[in-house]
Amino acid sequence: MAALINLNGIVATDSWRMISDDEALNAATALPGQHLVLTMPLWQTDGETLAEQGHKVGVWLWPDDDPESLISIVQTLPIIAVQFPVFTDGRGYSHGKMLRDRLGYTGELRATGDVLRDQIYFLSRCGFSSFALRSDQNPEESLTALNDFSWVPLVGR
């Protein structure tokens, strides 16, 4: 399990379960009230049903997904996770900026996947509020990245 840090400078416990396209949703619904983050295809087919069953449901965007497809429901989502399949893939930064600036998203925006300490500052500048670090990254050391430069956080303005 990846270490999770946030803009408050906290190493957090992750209460969200990421559900991939390959994972069976019936296993995800065994316990009512779970916090689930679904890929776009799963969210489109099952998100509303899971929410009606009492689950908190968020969306997991991949680089090829279009954040603007969430425009009608973006404010109802408690979390949007953006996948960084490799640290050199910068499309997630654009997703973050679009969600915050163009779509006005105010919930938790999480960077996940190949997330390194060196990206934390720049991800926060694009509106990310939490970071699921790659397993070889030290969370306490990664928190120091938030203080590498002086800045005013974009979240909460």
Q: Which two tokens stand for residue 32?
A: 């009512």
Look at residue 52 in the predicted model and tell me its pLDDT: 87
Cα 115 from Cα 122, distance rounded (Å): 11
Look at residue 146 in the predicted model and tell me its pLDDT: 79
CATH fourth-level superfamily of 4-147:
Aldolase class I (3.20.20.70)
Considering only the C-alpha atoms of the chain, give the largest distance between any 2 of them, rounded to a whole number of Å.
46
Cα 76 from Cα 78, distance rounded (Å): 6
Calculated CA dihedral for residues 132, 146, 101, 54, nearest 10 degrees: 40
* Residues of the chain where predicted confidence (pLDDT) is lower than 70: 1, 24-31, 150-157
Residue spans of the domains in the chain: they are 4-147
Look at residue 29 in the predicted model and tell me its pLDDT: 57
pTM (predicted TM-score): 0.88
